[in-house]
Every structure is written in C-alpha cells, then in structure tokens.
Structure 1
Amino acid sequence: MQGREGDNEMNSASESNTACGGRRILVVDDDRDALVILGDFLEAKDMAVVTAMDGHEALARFHDDGPFDLAVLDVMMPGLDGLEVCRRLKASPQGQLTPVLLVSARTDTKSRVAGLYGGADDYINKPVDLTEFLARVEVLLRVRDRYQQLNNRRSDAIDAALVDGLTGTVNALYFKRRLTEEIQRADRYQLAMTVILIDVLGLPDPPTADRQASDTNPTAGSSQPVDKLLAKLGLGLSSTLRGHDLIARLRRSRFAVLLSHTSKQDAQAVIERVKAAASQLKASADQTESLSLRIGCAELGPKMNSEGLLARAEPL
C-alpha cells in the first residue's frame, strides 16, 4: 500500500509540473520570507516567478514584465493593499483575463467576500498550506486556459464572419460597414477618399448550380478552376495595395478597393498596379486567355453616402 501511495504522489507531482510548466506568475507580498517560500515553491514546479514587495511595484511589474498567467497577491500590505491592486489589475485590458489569487491572514467571511467582490478569482488563508496552494493555482490556470480557448474561438468566428474564405479578402458585409465609417471620417475631417470596383471578365463558367449559389454566397461553388483563379487574383490584387487600403470580394467576380486619404487622380496609380497584377496572372496561369478586368473608380463627393459612391464607381 505504501509503495502504491508513493507512486500516486509521484504521478500527481509529475502531472502538476506538466500542467504548470512554463507559466509566468506574479507573486506579491511585503513579507520577504513568505515571498521566498511561495516563489521557490512555484519555481520548483517549473514556473517562472516575478516578485514584488508592495502594491505599486506589483502594478509596475505587471505592466512592464507581463503578460502573466496568474497573480498571487497578499491582501494586507502597507500603502496600496492587495484588494486595490486586484481592482486596478482587473480594470486594465491586460489584466481582465489574468486570474488573481488573494493570500491573507484574515480568515473571516467578510474579508473573503470583499476580496472576491473586488475581482479576485480565489482566496487562500495564511499560513499557506502548499498542497492546497498548488491545487488552487492549478485550478485557476485551467480556468484561464479555458477562457483563452473560448476567446480564441470567438476571435476565429469573428474573422470567419468578416473574411471571404476563397480569396482571403474581406467580405461584402465588412466592406460596406467600413465604407460607411470611412465616409463619416472623411466628411468630418475633409479628407479625400476613393473607391475602385473591379469586375473580372472571361472566367470559365462554373456549373449552373455553382453559379446560382455564388450569387448569394461569394465563397460558395465547387468549380475548382474558377476558385483557383479567383484565389490567385485576390492574392495578386491584395499585393498591389498599401497597408491601410482595404480590398473585398463583393460577389463572385467583383472586387472592391477602398482607398482612404486618396484622390481619384492618385488612385490611377493603384489601378495600373491592379492591371499589372492581372496581366501577370494571365501570363502564368492556365485557362486565363480570355481573362480581363473592367474597372470603375469614383471619389467621394459632398453629401454622398455609400450607395451613391458605389453607384458612381460602377464600371462602364
């Protein structure tokens, strides 16, 4: 029995090291001995520890040396106490998803509740039992990982909703929203702004079902030759633009370019680069003999909305 229990303890320690290894932890306590004990314990679990001995140093460390996976804060410190440090961390964008474990000699329910309402994610009493401390650290790190995964999925979902899956350009929904915003900004600050519409002509015809699907969803369709050409063209057109320009695929074979701070005259240089990119694709890809572009361009005028600007840019 003793040997089996020893094996279990070794396995548990190994699992803890795996779960915590490489994590960055901020530990704050005005008691140097307590700081050393907790810091050494966490480092023995393969975690990287940054320490501070007061609230002001803790905030400086958090913002200068972060990001951190967890903050361990002593509550009772002179000057800026752990509760106030916790509130300030949670109020910052960098600290919103960083779990906070409060450590305190106060064992009464009122103090624990105050800490949790102050933004802390957990609370442990002094003197600290290191086994319990490790368990709470691991739980908080798992919760943080879960939040991070959900946040990443949310970001991926937003990206998927705004990006054309075939060409990698933004989609019509995002383009029209940005166009409205840029028109408002241009009107407010009297800035030039130009839109270019690009119709791609001479593409191989997809099957009827694919063409009908593409009318309502630009990323739909199973015609591989057409998809490959459009994907290459989207990449080529994107490469001709400046970093702050915006390109979108509005429907199956129509692209739009939003040029902020750009007059119609200056946009001609962009149009020439677009034509050159299409010519390069035509020279290097199969089934592009009949490929051509029809391009329209319009500059924002007084009291013009997004619909009016797009209508004026319609290729003739």
Structure 2
Amino acid sequence: MHRYRVCVADDCVETATVLCEGLALHNYDSIAAYSGEEALQVCQEGDVDLILLDVYLPGIDGYEVCKRLKQSTKTRNVVVVFVTVKGAQEDISRGFALGAADYITKPFNLPMVMVRVDAAMRRREGAPTIDTDLENSPETIYTDPLTGLRSGQYLLQRLQEEVEKAHRYDFPVSCVVFDVDDVRPLDADLGPVSLDDLLAEVAMTVRKYSRAFDVVGRYDGTLFAAILPHTPLADATKYAQKIMYEIDATTFSDPNFPTEASLSVGIAACQNGSAHGADYVLGEAMRGLFQAKSLPGDRLVARSLSAG
C-alpha cells in the first residue's frame, strides 16, 4: 500500500517534530523543512504528496512557497495545508486564493490536524467534494473534535454492524472500553496537565496500537472505546494491556505540568457474535470497566459473552 509523503515546513524545530511524529503514527512518511527555500527544494525533488506549511518562514514566506508550488508543473499537484498563527479572515482567504486545500491556525490540535490531512488526501484522490459544509458533513459529525477519533454515535452504529457480521460469518468480535482515571500531578504546586491535552495524548496511544480496520473512538468524557473485529478475548486483552502499560509508563507534560495517569479497562468478547446487540455488548464491557475500577494494580476485567 502506497504511503503518502508529507513535507512539514516550519522554522520551529519542536513544532515540526511534533507534526512529523503525529504523521508517522498515522502511516505517513514525513520530512521536515525549516525555510521556504528548503520546502520548495524538498517538494521539487522528494516526491511529496502534501505539505503542512507555516506562513512565517525564513527567506521565502509560506504564501510565496504556495504560489510557486502551484505555478510549477512539477509541484502543482502537491496538496497545500497551511498551519500557522496567521488566522485573520484575510489571511485565510489569501491562503485559499493561492490554491491551499485547507488552513489550520495555531495553536493546533494534533489529532484534528491528522483528520484534516486525511480528508485533504481523500479529496485529492477523487473522493466526492460537492458537499463543502464541513461542520455538517458526515466526516465531522462522526469525529470527536478534541481527539480526532470517532464519536460515540459512530461507535454504537459500527458496533451493531460488527456484531451482526460476526454472528453471520462466524468470527469473534471484541469491545474494549477504557477510562482515564487516577490522574497524578508530579508537582503539587504546578498541578496536572490540562485534561484536554491528556485526552489527546491518550487518543494517540490508543490509535498507535490499533489496526487499520479497528474502530476506535472517544465514547464520552474520559471514556474511550475500541471495536476489534476478528479478535477473540485473549487477543483483545493483550491489546488493552499494551495500551495500559504505555499510559502507565508515560509522563504527560504541556510541557511544564508533569503528570501521570492510569487506565481502567472493561472488555466484552462475542464468539461468533453470539446474536447480541450493540447495546448489550457495550453494556457488558461497561460493567467490566466499573468492576475493574475497584481492583488494585492492573485494573482490567474481561468477559466472554455466551451464545444468545
């Protein structure tokens, strides 16, 4: 499968690194450029599919970079997404007038940047673009705006579909529910990192360990859920444990509020679908989660649902 290549053009090394790491987690290849001239060179020589482009670059600014990319027959098909602090309406209008596919203002939400990159690449590959009402499009309605994962509404619909398919075609499916709890600031005076930042980082971890065909989302508040098709209870438990261990081992920081956190997990697995509906399967996973919260150590309760 072809991996898209993204140039990240930003004179701030830290910002470029964060964007490159986020792209890697979402199966994109990336290369950083720290000036306008370097960005142009990378795009001309590096088989680049998309560029995340800051406006404030040394030498040639981002607007001029975009203009030159669109004027060249070699680079005119590079998808341009501005990521910049210049967020006035005239700035945004100028970016789109130069041929940008999207315009994101800083400070950005990394998971949502990845959602916008995915959407821009789908449009380039010929996905329908007639409906330009992004706020009411299915992509937005079914996406959690904080984490970039799927919404609770979407999770329920997909869980019903997967349970029915598992029953029809005779394969297992598992539902895993995570809750973020036991948030511990390492510096009592500074306090913990903001909850939004913590949830965004947890979302990145969940996505990192999930397969392309798994369905992962933020169900509600601090609750995350994953639907794992073709996955028996033992494998779902291993999946959840990997995520739990990484969260336990991570010090979250933004960057001055060092914080640790833990997860509680409930798992419900249906062998062959067991003819159960989504509400029942999710309810059993939630029941396991509530039981797990009372356990010491690795707070995880997994259950196999009997045939219905």
| TM-score > 0.5 by shorter chain | no
Whose helix fraction is larger, Structure 1's or Structure 2's? 1
TM-score by length of 1: 0.44
TM-score by length of 2: 0.45
Rg bigger for which structure? Answer: 1
Pick the structure with more strand per residue. Answer: 2
